[in-house]
Amino acid sequence: MIRSDRILGLVTVVAALAFIVSAAQLETSFLTDPVGSKTFPYLIGGISLLCGLVFLFRPDADPQWPALKSWLSLALAAVVLMA
């Protein structure tokens, strides 16, 4: 399904832009390193933005979805992680 890749890409682009905007609002103190404290969040946001754009503009024509058993295993792992 091409639509599922495009939805994931759009969600990733929006989340990356929100992350970059929140990183821009970080206040730096006068005791910072030369690179600064905003570089790492900008880097993560930029890479996420790039990946989201790839999903948005080059979706997989025929994605292989996992079986129901795999979805149940993933859901169990997510519940254990949240607990």
Annotated domain spans of the chain:
2-82
Structure tokens at 24: 């821009």
Q: Is the whole model's pTM more than 0.85, yes or no?
A: no
Q: What pLDDT was estimated at residue 59?
A: 83
Structure tokens at 74: 């993933």
Instruction: Tell which wins on pLDDT, 42 or 64.
Output: 42
Q: What pLDDT was estimated at residue 24?
A: 86
pLDDT tens per residue across span 43-58: 999 999 999 999 888 8
Residue recorded with tokens 């832009």: 17
Answer yes or no: is pLDDT of 36 > 90: no
Burial class (CB in 10 A: 0-12, 13-18, 19+), 7: middle
